[in-house]
Amino acid sequence: MPRNRRPRDREEKSAEIVAAAANLFIEVGFEKTSLVSVAKAAGVTTNTIYWYFESKEVLLVAVLEHLFAEALKDVGQQAEVPLVDLLVWVVDRLQQHSKLVTTVHALAATSPVVGTWHDGFHAVTNEILAEGLRQSGVPEDQVLPMTRLGVFAIEGLLMHSLPRAEQRAVLDLVSNGLR
């Protein structure tokens, strides 16, 4: 008897599940999204999700990896802009995914897989910020503390809503090394 469905490769199926989960995690939130709803949105069974992802947290990390890869592609378009504009762009992007930012921070301490992803995310973003500070003329002995300050400023802006002009003023201080 002929097959009614075309065979799909593992990467394609996984990408469909990740896309469905990303939409739900962003719109509804991680906690309020069940794997049953992800399965329904992806057009698969809940058991299928477990064939690809051993837990909801592992699926979250796959979603985060997908979103981060998309952001890294887009950051290349920001290469020639001043550091303050890059930082404003980063805050804007992260605010679009504020539910996920909150979820990652809540789970990082209790979920090894999310904690590992969070640490890796910080390592990459710290290096991007550090390189931007170096290119802005910040002396090398001040790059690490300024990078930490920049991360704290960005995370603070994500947790505390400020008008765009105030956000820019905070990020301008960071990008100029508080000079």
Domain assignment present for 50: yes
Residue 4 is assigned to a structural domain of this protein: no
Q: What pLDDT is attached to residue 2?
A: 44
Query: Does a structural domain hold residue 3?
Result: no
For residues 67 and 62, give the distance between their C-alpha atoms in angstroms, rounded to a whole number.
Answer: 9
Q: What's the whole-number average pLDDT of the chain? A: 87
Taking the CB of residue 178, how many other CB atoms lie within 10 A of it? 11
Q: Does the residue 2 lie in any domain? A: no
Residue 152 lies in a domain: yes
Asked if residues 71 and 22 have their Cβ atoms less than 8 Å apart, the reply is: no
Structural domain count, the chain = 1
Q: What percent of the chain has pLDDT over 70?
A: 93
Cβ-contact 175, 84 below 8 angstroms: yes
75: Cα separation from own chain's centroid: 13
In a domain, 32, yes or no: yes
Residue 52 lies in a domain: yes
Q: What is the CATH number of the domain that holds 163?
A: 1.10.357.10
> Residue 16 falls within a domain, yes or no?
yes
Q: How confident is the model at residue 6 (pLDDT cuts 50, 70, 90)?
A: low
- Distance between CA atoms of residues 71 and 100, nearest Å: 14
Q: What's the confidence (pLDDT) of residue 177?
A: 67
Q: What is the pTM (predicted TM-score) of this model?
A: 0.82
Q: Which residue range(s) make up the domain with 161?
A: 10-175
Q: Tell me the pLDDT band of 26, cut-offs 50, 70 and 90.
A: very high
CA angle 5, 49, 2 (to 5 degrees): 15
Q: For 46-98, write each residue's pLDDT tens digit.
A: 999 999 999 999 999 999 999 888 887 777 776 678 888 888 888 888 888 88
